[in-house]
Amino acid sequence: MTVALALIILISPFAVATAVGWAARRGNVLRFRLDLFGIDQPDYETYRAGHDLDAIRSRFEHQPTWPSAGALGVLHG
């Protein structure tokens, strides 16, 4: 019983891939074309990254040292 279950588990990804491939060839349902992924829209992630870089740049203009991690291990006594 466990051998049959192991074989089913091992063969099932190939069966799913075969079924998806058959369905893709049957009709144009599962076809991926490059025109599905339009690049003509504005990329808001570049605007956000530019804003973050400007914030970092202005921070280093005011205080040009890297912030410390907190406790430096120096005892004042």
Confidence (pTM): 0.35
What are the extents of the domains in the chain?
A: 10-62
pLDDT tens per residue across span 12-45: 999 999 988 887 777 666 666 666 666 777 778 8
Q: SS in 3 state form for the chain? A: CHHHHHHHHHHHHHHHHHHHHHHHHHCCCCCCCHHHCCCCCCCHHHHHHHHHHHHHHHHHHHCCCCCCCCCCCCCCC
Structural tokens at position 45: 């992630």
pLDDT band at 10 (very low <50, low <70, confident <90, very high): very high
- Contact 10/2 with Cβ under 8 angstroms? no
pLDDT tens per residue across span 38-75: 677 777 888 889 999 999 888 878 777 776 766 666 65
